[in-house]
Structure 1
Amino acid sequence: MIRLVLGGPGFAAIEFKSVGESPATDQYIKLLFLPQNLEADAAAAQGVDLRRPYDMEALREQLSTEQMPVTRTYTIRHVDHAREQIWVDFVVHGDVGRAGVWAKHARLGDEISFFGPGSGYAPRAEAQWHLLAGDEAALPAIASALESMPEDARGVAVVEVRDATERQPLDVPAGMELIWLHREAEFSPETTMLAEYLEQLIVPEGDVQVFVHGERAQMKRIRRMLVDQKGLDRKAMSLSAYWAHGRIEDQFQAEKRTPVGQLEG
């Protein structure tokens, strides 16, 4: 995993999100990358302005759909208002993927544009028990949530990573238990470690707030289990798939917009 610190004159224009009166801990941004098949010099010769920040409305009029900037979604790990910086963690898989490869080769002074942030979750101080769970993609949001909790917060945070080298030092309240699950391999369609652990987890009765995000297939299994087996309140849960195995984000987001059914109840 690689952490990049982003800053610059555009920081003042960022509208950071809150949930109620609390800063959101799952704020995400959509990084913009020019497609690899777009020749910047040729586009400039045709009067296309590719200077950042991109004028997306103008680009839609000048470029084909295949030539438009593509987005890659990442959770903000930390906002440093004093230094006007944001931290973003990237999971890197060698030289595969647009954002990971960019992060791997980024150097001081490199530029990036993004939309956002968006958000939807913050831990409630009055919740009696918290369940936080996810894989590497959810780790920034889980870490941010733990840091924002009061010291007497109670619950468990479960993080699935490849191996012990992927662990990070986290600021965990005294009443929260942090559990690391090690796959000892890259994620595969057969990976069910997180779902299996949560299935055997004993969740107390009372006001329970849930934040679980991860790979799509695991999340389908986890979503039904939390509702049908654990009997948790859907309104107190933040659940979604951050990614899908074998899909780039463009495919994944298109599939997410296609209805495939709903939970009964």
Structure 2
Amino acid sequence: MSRPTESSPATPQRPARPQRPQIVLEVLERIQLSPRMVRIVAGGPGISAVEDNGRTDAYTKMLFAHPGTDLVPPYDLDALRQELPVELLPSRRTYTIRRFDLANGRIWIDFVVHGDEGVAGPWADGAVPGAPVVLGGIGGGYAPDPEADWHLLAGDDSALPAIASALEAMRPDTRGVALLEVDGDADHLELTAPDGIRIEWLHRDGREAGTTTLLADAVRAVDWQDGRVQVFAHGERGAMKSLRPYLTDERGLDREQLSLSAYWAHGRKEDTFQAEKREQIGQI
């Protein structure tokens, strides 16, 4: 007599990861800061959902609808994944919030633009008042330590918004050095900084961003001051990789003294750069 066949228990379905709430703002103003930098001032009714986290490197995950889809935010990403091919889904890009001006109902976000290259740059270049600005949460991990004896800030164009914000937040008696890599004189921005911060602009002079050692060489050439330093170094992945052993091994900085990461990688599109963060090549 055969035994009845037992059916296998159904494999439990993994619950869908909840979507992060989206904050929908609108463009209030577009400002050309330099040939390669555009500021978008955003606000509107949704600004009440924005909170200043007190970090000068505060960032947000922005969502950009594909130009041909006419999607209206907030976006139901789970539903859209069922309806649209991957190439037509909204693109997610990470950008620094240059300033929280919540008393006046607005925030600033600065974009590096390279003509029609990429997603966010062309959007910012052509943004008009009333266009939607979709944020997917706000993070950040750095702010100038008022107890540090001196500060070293280093970055390329991509790090300018965070460094500018940090300089503005420093006490008047703060000492240190800010090393800023840009293409040339036309890319200098007006910065508010303590008198004790020496600002040095490093020029690529037409060389492609991410192909020089300008920033890393300048960091190594800094005259190391007495006392405890706090370092903020962000920019192209290769440059940041080359700086970590110098700062941690040669200079002996600990985790509390160092904020170092890559904002982009030469020769990589944003999606590839983000995916590689989980691989050895993307580790800083």
**Structure 1 length normalisation: TM-score?**
0.87
Q: 1:119-198, aligned counterparts within 5 Å?
A: 119-198=140-219
What secondary structure sits across from 2:161 in the alignment? helix
Q: 2:62 aligned with 1:26, yes or no? A: no
How large is the RMSD of aligned CA atoms in angstroms? 1.9
| 2:127 aligned residue | 106
Paired residue type of 1:232: L
In structure 1, which of residues 205, 208, 221 is the aligned counterpart of residue 229 of structure 2? 208
What secondary structure sits across from 1:157 in the alignment? strand
CA shift, 1:62, in A, is 3.9
In structure 2, which of residues 24, 28, 50 is the aligned counterpart of residue 14 of structure 1? 50
Q: 2:254 aligned with 1:223, yes or no? A: no
Q: 1: CA distance between counterparts of 2:149 and 2:193?
A: 16
What secondary structure sits across from 2:212 in the alignment? coil
Contact 1:203 1:230 in 2 (8 A): no
String of CA shifts for 1:150-170, please: whole Å, max 9, x gaps.
000111111011101111111
Q: 1: CA distance between counterparts of 2:155 and 2:210?
A: 16
In structure 1, which of residues 244, 255, 259 is the aligned counterpart of residue 276 of structure 2? 255
CA shift, 1:125, in A, is 0.9
Shifted more, 116-125 versus 196-205: the winner is 196-205
Q: 2:86 aligned with 1:86, yes or no? A: no
Paired residue type of 1:151: P
Contact 1:32 1:114 in 2 (8 A): yes
Q: 1:67-82, aligned counterparts within 5 Å?
A: 67-82=88-103
Q: 2: CA distance between counterparts of 1:163 and 1:72?
A: 26
User: Any unmatched runs of 5+ in structure 2?
Assistant: 1-36
Paired residue type of 1:172: A
Q: 1: CA distance between counterparts of 2:207 and 2:122?
A: 17
CA shift, 1:196, in A, is 0.6
How many matched pairs? Answer: 248
| 1:45 aligned residue | none
Q: 2:84 aligned with 1:53, yes or no? A: no
Moved over 6 A (4+): none
What secondary structure sits across from 2:153 in the alignment? strand
For the pair shown, the structure with the greater C-alpha radius of gyration is: 2
**Percentage identity across aligned positions?**
53
What secondary structure sits across from 2:181 in the alignment? strand
CA shift, 1:225, in A, is 1.2
CA shift, 1:223, in A, is 1.2
String of CA shifts for 1:32-77, please: whole Å, max 9, x gaps.
12346xx527xxxxxxxx3211123333444454443111111111
**Structure 2 length normalisation: TM-score?**
0.82
Q: 2:69 aligned with 1:40, yes or no? A: yes
Closer/same/farther in 2, CA of residues 177 and 246 from structure 1, 3 Å limit: same
Q: 2: CA distance between counterparts of 1:114 and 1:123?
A: 25
What secondary structure sits across from 1:227 in the alignment? helix
String of CA shifts for 1:223-255, please: whole Å, max 9, x gaps.
111112222223310000000111111010000
Paired residue type of 1:40: T
Q: 2: CA distance between counterparts of 1:33 and 1:131?
A: 34
Paired residue type of 1:33: F
Closer/same/farther in 2, CA of residues 253 and 262 from structure 1, 3 Å limit: closer
